[in-house]
Amino acid sequence: MNILSGFFTDDLAIDLGTVNTIVYAPTQGVVLNEPSVVAINKYSREVISVGSPALKLLGREPNDTEVYRPMRRGAIDNFEISQEFLRAIISRVQNHDHPKRSHLVIGVPGSSTPLERRSVKDAARDAKAGRVDLIDEGLAAALGAELDFDNEQAHLVVDIGGGTTNIAILASGGVINSVSLSAAGNAMDDAIKDYLRLRYAVQFGERTIEHIKCKLGSASHDKHDPYLDNDLEIVGKQLANGGALPISVSAREVRGALEPVLAEIISAVRRVIEDASPEVTADIYYSGVILTGGGALLNGMAARLQHDLNLNITVPEDPLTTVALGAGRLLAEPERLQRASLRLDGPAWEQAEKLVVNW
């Protein structure tokens, strides 16, 4: 991150994710992409490191260090830690010789409660942000996938992140409906961990489980997919005696462990489509589904959705950064940002008259 030492800006768009935090600056593009992890001295409460250096300590913390993930399931898990984390990442992309209070645009799940939104806003303000706007992650993801602001046709966006899957229907630059569920990347990790614990009586750490998901995870609907023949040897801790035990896990096993989470995501997408008006349903038939987030990178995910929903699936070139890019687009359009900014008094779709605007 030394290349950012001279960088300075007033405006930043942030995808404050459960697993990764991405920061976008209008004139620079993506200036930070780091794990949402912070290491803190347990006695002085000083921040030791954030991002990748802090992630390396996870599971191997020195006795004077605590490692936190400030976000859980798309919401702030610890207000004080989140404040320190935000302050640290904002500091990393600003000029320390001339610090200023930034204008932040932050993506949040569309179904987030007013309390959760207020917590994000307050944490950002306490981290020395001058102005904070919150926008629906589904809207941000669509804009980041280069959806036209003025397109009046309804589009369905499925953003599979670490803590939440956000499903949103959008039209004319606004949100028609938005639903968030906890079946996402972390739920997949938990499913793999539980399967291995029950099948082999072995316990694995968070980083190992993430490695298994990246190497062997699959959503493929084809039982004869050659990818499912891959396997991986990993070492875990035996529950019986606490000793190390190497085991070989196949992609087919991991695929089976992930099935309940995948089925929940697909079922939720179906419900959103079923609840839509006939005009919207017809639009989605032609426009298909925009798939974003880290879950879009899971082997066979796009093909699985296309097979189960019978809709065309579009995946952006870089699905991980779409929320930050979309929030950045709104930074350059103050009027549109003001109208798209989420209120603190109700879910996004309850503000439909304020959010759906023909620009």
**pLDDT values of the chain reduced to their tens digit, one per residue, 359 residues:** 444 433 444 789 999 888 999 999 888 889 999 999 999 998 998 999 999 999 999 888 899 999 999 888 777 888 888 888 888 888 888 755 555 667 889 988 877 888 888 888 888 888 777 888 999 888 999 999 988 888 899 999 999 998 899 999 999 888 899 899 999 999 999 999 999 999 999 999 988 999 999 999 999 988 888 998 999 999 999 999 999 999 999 999 999 999 999 999 999 999 999 999 999 999 999 999 999 999 999 999 999 999 999 999 999 999 999 999 999 999 888 888 888 888 766 444 444 444 443 33
pLDDT digits (tens, 9 = 90+) for 110-152: 778 888 888 888 888 887 778 889 998 889 999 999 888 888 9
Give phi and psi for 297, each to the nearest 5.
-85, -10
Cα separation of the two ends of the chain:
38
Question: What is the pTM assigned to this prediction?
Answer: 0.86
Q: Are strands 244-250 and 174-181 parallel, antiparallel or unpaired?
A: unpaired
Distance CA(139)–CA(268), nearest Å, equals 18
Q: What is the side-by-side strand order in the sheet with 155-160? A: 174-181, 165-171, 155-160, 289-292, 313-314
pLDDT digits (tens, 9 = 90+) for 180-190: 999 999 999 99
User: Could you tell me the two tokens for 19?
Assistant: 């697993």
